[in-house]
Amino acid sequence: MKIIIIGIGKVGRALAENLSAENHDITLVDTKQSRLEELVNTCDVMGICGNGASYDILSDAGAADADLLIACTPADEINMLTCMVAKKLGATHTIARVRNPEYEKQLMLMSEDLGLSMVINPEKAMAREISRVLRFPTALKLESFAKGRVELLEYIVNEKSPLNNVKLTDLFKNVHSKVLICAVARGDEVIIPSGDFVIKSGDTIYITSSPSELESFFGHLGVLRAGVKSVMIAGASNICYHLGKELVDAGIKVTVIDNDAKKCAQMAERLPKALIVQGDAADGEILGEEGISKTDAFVALTGLDESNIILSMFAMRKGVSKVVAKVNRRSFFDLVSHSAMQDTIVSTSAVTAEYITQYVRTMNNDDNDILTLHRLVGGRVEAIEFHVTKSSGVTGKPLMDLDICADVLIAVIARKSGQIVIPNGQTKLNVGDSVIIVTTDKSIMKLSDILRKGGTKK
């Protein structure tokens, strides 16, 4: 597809890298020549220096025949204007990054008039991501499929874990929960494991099944943590507002700490059911007075990555059972995510880029049966949910008789009846099923792509 990205800050950069790796025709527009040159030299993209909201610049970038334009400059108004102009020029789809929550209601009413195919609020997307993890604190990350009937979670195995040095076939003999370990990250290696695979300390494993079966599985292992009932948030930011609202609405006690009196006053007005404390979150005495050692979860959302890392380390030392830190700087993200310093590391730019990349993969293809897509192991593995149709070419035969590509795993089937199936060789796919596959192949766009040429084993 021909894609134009306006604004190459952290989100634009991540999108350029993700989408150029999938062989899309990418044109970048930014006002800073140095940013453009860096990405043009490292990615297979074109660059145009100028104002992305300008009619002439958009014309030069090829908006008239673009399949998609993504506006992700720092200014919401510029992003909306850019999408309007691009749509008038002939762009098929447009996406705007809009951060101001005050625009949310207007955009719900006016998206069509503005020519917007999708609006993404990075802070709201981040809050949703954190909220999912707090609901299942055992997980580093939690993704859902089949309208919530299937979940996939990320979990790190440590030396004391009952999973350490366990062969998968032995594990499923002893623990009768119907779950599937569908991918493993071990160092720089990505493995889609077979039954004789042995889990080791330090492995990041990806487990999928229904929510009840996942709870049963971790309950059998004795590592299940109950959902949080109280959360302390450092930093009265927009992410804090969206997260706090979700948590308060779910009946969870929320405490917000920030040193800025104005921000605290605004947050108190926007979240009247939360406790807002004006004070320095980096002051251990203040955190102690507000009960950090008694809270179930601590979320560090200040504007400084370094502060978030240090605050999270402090919270872990105080015995907080679930800790989440916002870390946007890539070098810090890589450093901390490979250590035991945090339960969960989240990045606003990474979450936003992932949401948009998912949309790109599922758009503008009449033969595309993709319902949901999540990227795992830093984007090296994808978990994709497909709707099974008559034309899919996979129905009516046991899976063992289908010539499925070696880098594809059929992970879970969600039947129309509501039944969740962890398949074996005898399992058949039926029309109307939702099927989740796990693969390292980024070119899969429809369900029939999982089959080798011919489709059936001889």
- The DSSP 8-state label assigned to residue 1 in this structure reads -
Residue closest to 427 by CA, chosen among 444, 404, 446, 443: 404
Contacts of 226 (CB under 8 A, 6+ apart): 137
| Interatomic CA distance for residues 21 and 346, integer angstroms | 22
Residue closest to 226 by CA, chosen among 296, 163, 175: 296
Q: What angle do CA 82, 88, 91 make, to 5 degrees?
A: 75
Instruction: Please report how many Cα atoms fall inside a 13 Å half-sphere around the Cα of residue 130, on the Cβ side.
Output: 33
Predicted pLDDT at 161: 86
Contact between 116 and 132 under an 8 Å Cβ cutoff? The reply is no
Domains along the sequence of the chain with CATH: 2-120 (3.40.50.720), 127-221 (3.30.70.1450), 230-351 (3.40.50.720), 357-456 (3.30.70.1450)
Output the CA–CA distances (angstroms, integers) from residue 205 to 92, 136, 183, 186, 338, in the order listed.
39, 15, 6, 9, 14
User: Quick one: tokens of 204?
Assistant: 């990041």
pLDDT in tens, the chain (458 residues): 899 999 999 899 989 988 888 788 999 999 999 989 999 988 889 999 999 999 999 999 999 999 999 999 999 999 999 999 999 999 999 999 998 877 877 777 777 777 788 889 989 989 988 988 887 777 778 888 887 889 999 888 988 888 999 999 888 777 777 899 999 999 889 999 988 999 999 899 999 999 888 888 888 877 766 678 999 999 999 999 999 999 999 899 999 999 999 999 999 999 999 999 999 999 989 999 999 999 999 999 998 989 999 999 899 889 898 899 998 887 776 666 555 554 678 888 888 888 888 788 777 455 557 888 888 887 789 899 998 988 888 998 999 999 999 889 999 999 988 899 999 899 999 999 999 999 998 888 889 999 987 555 65
Burial readout 230-267 (b: 16 or more C-beta within 10 A, e: otherwise): ebbbbbbbbbbbbbbbbbbeeebbbbbbbbeeebbeeb
